[in-house]
Amino acid sequence: MGMDLIPNNTSIESIHYNWTGWAILTRFLEKHDCSMNEFAGVNDGDRISKDTCKLVAKILREHAQEIPNISRQYISEEEAKGVKFTKEDRDDASIIKDFLEDATFWEKCNGCQQW
């Protein structure tokens, strides 16, 4: 379960976020003034434009070191509701690495659909 992003650029592969990753990503982007108008909370094929995808890549690259703070805040809020998380979910270096790798998708996808 989660969000699959299908690129308009068919020469690259789609990517998948579990719901935790998607929540962390969207909170992080909101913090950096990226409009959430194109980001869906459901898998219904809504599109994210090429310009927005390029902006996401830029934000990820320029502010990656801040992602663990958003992640820890989200995990803390969800644990208070009884949600369980793994050690890997808490690994700052892994979180930064994963989101930086995703920046390449966002930069090259030419826009995408959310499924």
User: Is residue 5 within 8 Å of residue 113, measured between CB atoms?
Assistant: yes
User: Is residue 71 within 8 Å of residue 24, measured between CB atoms?
Assistant: yes
Instruction: For the chain, 115 residues long, give each residue's pLDDT as a single digit of tens.
Output: 899 999 999 999 999 999 899 999 999 999 999 999 999 888 889 999 999 999 999 999 999 999 999 999 999 999 999 999 888 888 888 889 999 999 999 999 999 999 9
* H helix or E strand, kind and range, residue 28: helix 19-31
Burial profile 23-45: b = 16 or more Cβ within 10 angstroms, e = fewer: bbbbebbeeeebeeebbbeeeee
Query: Whole-prediction pTM value?
Result: 0.91
Pairing of strands 15-17, 112-114: unpaired
Is residue 52 packed enough to be buried (19+ CB in 10 Å), middle (13-18) or exposed (0-12)?
buried
User: Is residue 82 within 8 Å of residue 29, measured between CB atoms?
Assistant: no
Among 102, 104, 115, CA closest to 45: 115
Write the CB contacts of 58 (distance below 8 Å, at least 6 apart in sequence): none
